Amino acid sequence: MRRNICMILFSVLSTVTGMNCANAQEQKSDGNTNVPKVYMFKEISPENLVKIYEALGREATGKVAVKLSTGEPGGHNFLQPALIKDLVQKVKGTIVECNTAYGGGRADTENHLKAAKDHGFTAIAPVDIMDAEGEVALPVKGGKHLKEDFVGSHYLNYDFTIVLSHFKGHAMGGFGGAIKNISIGIASSAGKAWIHSAGKTKGNPWGNLPPQDDFLESMAEAAKAIIDHCGDKILYISVANNLSVDCDCDSSPEDPKMGDIGILASLDPVALDKACTDLVRVSEDHGKIHLIERIDSRNGMHTLEYGEKIGLGSQKYELVKLD
């Protein structure tokens, strides 16, 4: 038993390329092209955001949706327009969002657009609230909880999706990264309720929430609907900064207790989310304990375990540092 635990620990640690440890050597590529690459810059800058997009080798073509969180009014940890402007404009992207299911300042299109304007996003690119004119259903293939994923109807107008996520904690999911951004984020307001209730209601889900793992699995299933829809017309970039335990959907998020990690990107959303969580765990920043507690207390890693099981991607990856 102890040997098995040690081997599991070794596997987690050695996944993060460049980690120095007495019992773990730097991971080397074994030529296995099936292991997805996760690229990384430690320095967070507009220039590096463009460079990491280019490193992925997948050009965003046609009408490009850039999915990010415009941030709840009162919050301040969301990705700043000055950081993302160069990338969004390079791909001639439209910033896309859907209305929330929890009330707040972005529950309807008018107020959501006002929040986007107040936070500076409308000054750098067009902003489309995709469920302003309703929703459409995308099939969930092989789902245990969901058979359909309800997304903003405007989403079908786009040819390519850049999933630009702020990696941080989350009160319900444990953490928010690429998978949450394409599942909850692209879902319509009613679709968000559908995911949160594990397919029980498109109305108010908050009074009768399902078991936690059912919710986490529903997020992965909704993400699969998006990935199946997009094929290879999607890529994933996450900025691990302002690492609060709370999401950008929180109007009063707790201040970050640990320092920034960097920019990461991949063509595999499971690998990207796993790399971000791994880098939190191996950080030498003592403040990481708060974010780790948030992730583990919500069983957040189950989203990746189940996502891998249903074919979203791989928890094994090669970390390629670009600094």
pLDDT tens-place string over residues 218-261: 999 999 999 999 999 999 999 999 999 987 676 677 888 999 99
51-71 pLDDT per residue, tens: 999 999 999 999 999 999 999
The residue whose two tokens read 């859907």 is 98
Residue 133 structure tokens? 């004119």
> Tokens representing 119?
């936070």
Upper half-sphere CA count for residue 201 (Cβ side, 13 Å): 10
| 23-27, 154-158, 171-175: the lowest-pLDDT one | 23-27
Give the chain's mean pLDDT: 90
Counting Cα atoms < 13 Å in the Cβ hemisphere of 74 gives 12
Q: Phi then psi for 15, rounded to 5 degrees?
A: -65, -30
Q: What value does the mean pLDDT take over residues 170-177? A: 95
> Residue 308's beta-bridge partner residues?
none
C-alpha span between 57 and 53 (Å, rounded): 8
Gap between the Cα atoms of 73 and 109, Å rounded:
14
- Contacts of 111 by beta carbon, 8 Å cutoff, 6+ apart: 105
Angle at CA 114, nearest 5°, toward 113 and 117?
85
Minimum mean pLDDT range among 99-103, 196-200, 298-302 = 99-103
Confidence (pTM):
0.89
- Rounded Cα distance between 39 and 52, Å, is 7
Residue 242 amino acid letter: N
Q: How confident is the model at residue 263 (pLDDT cuts 50, 70, 90)?
A: very high
Contact 189, 151 (CB under 8 A): no
Q: Distance between CA atoms of 276 and 240, rounded to whole angstroms?
A: 7
300, pLDDT greater than 90: yes
Reported as half-sphere exposure (CB side, CA atoms, 13 A), residue 154 has a value of 21
Residues 68 and 184: beta-carbon distance below 8 Å: no
Domain at 37-321: CATH architecture: 3-Layer(aba) Sandwich (3.40)
Contact 46, 87 (CB under 8 A): yes
For the residues 172-179, what does the mean pLDDT come to?
96
